[in-house]
Chains A and B, each alone.
Chain A
Amino acid sequence: NAGVTQTPKFQVLKTGQSMTLQCAQDMNHNSMYWYRQDPGMGLRLIYYSASEGTTDKGEVPNGYNVSRLNKREFSLRLESAAPSQTSVYFCATGRGSGIRNQPQHFGDGTRLSIL
């Protein structure tokens, strides 16, 4: 998935630890998104940023915070990790805020395990 880079690719944490997942895009897209995917399930939206300087909650925001650092970067932070947050996290970008017919483009994910 060229254009959307997520780091790290894998991470193991202990309960209560904190960490930040990084996402950077070079597609010059305005919108950025964080999803989580649990085994056998579809993706669920955590937070999104329609444009630089704005962020909004998605379907499952509890336990997470985000920061839209600039147009290119959108980070997801777990302040106190819990086992229920074990998941694969995907970052995505979209061309424009408020534009209905634009697809999103995804990174390859961060696989996070919390013990």
Chain B
Amino acid sequence: DAKTTQPPSMDCAEGRAANLPCNHSTISGNEYVYWYRQIHSQGPQYIIHGLKNNETNEMASLIITEDRKSSTLILPHATLRDTAVYYCIVRAGYGQNFVFGPGTRLSVLP
């Protein structure tokens, strides 16, 4: 069963920030939030992950609410190449598996 809820689709203008929300209200205290994306016909690409503090890397920023029940992935300056399906995942069970739901289809528009 999916442990996260994401909007099925979003649009973003090229050059603007893309903010992708994710709800994970049943997250447990030691579970991490991961974000992946999948560009058409390619394998999923790791973006970022975090536990409770905000995280930033060269690709994106991850903002996790204080109660950890939701998070937002931020692509600061979206480009056409960021058009993809974005998956928010909470690590299931002991920690070996990633459960991928349907994700959010982000379309970056020129």
Contact = CB atoms under 8 A, between A and B. Distances in A.
Interface of A: 1, 4, 31, 33, 35, 37, 40-45, 48, 50, 56, 58-59, 90, 92, 94, 97-101, 103-109
A107 to B, nearest CB: 5
Interface string B70-110: 00000000000000000100010011111111110000000
Q: Which of B31, B42, B44 has the largest number of chain A CB atoms within 10 A?
A: B44
Contacts, number: 67
Interface of B: 30-32, 34, 41-46, 49, 51, 87, 91, 94-103
B45 A106 contact: yes
Given A50-B96, A101-B32, A101-B49, A42 B43 contact: no
22 contacts: A1-B45, A33-B96, A35-B100, A42-B99, A42-B101, A43-B100, A44-B100, A45-B97, A45-B98, A45-B99, A48-B96, A48-B97, A56-B96, A92-B43, A98-B95, A100-B32, A104-B46, A105-B46, A106-B45, A106-B46, A107-B43, A109-B43
Contacts of A37: 100
B30 A90 contact: no
Contacts of A59: 97
Nearest to A104: B98
B70 to A, nearest CB: 19
A44 B70 CA distance: 23
Contacts of B46: 103-106
Given A42-B87, A101-B32, A101-B49, A109 B42 contact: yes
Contacts of B41: 108-109
A103 B102 contact: no
Contact of A108 (B34, B43, B94, B103): B43
Contacts of B100: 35, 37, 42-44
B4 to A, nearest CB: 11
Nearest to A1: B43
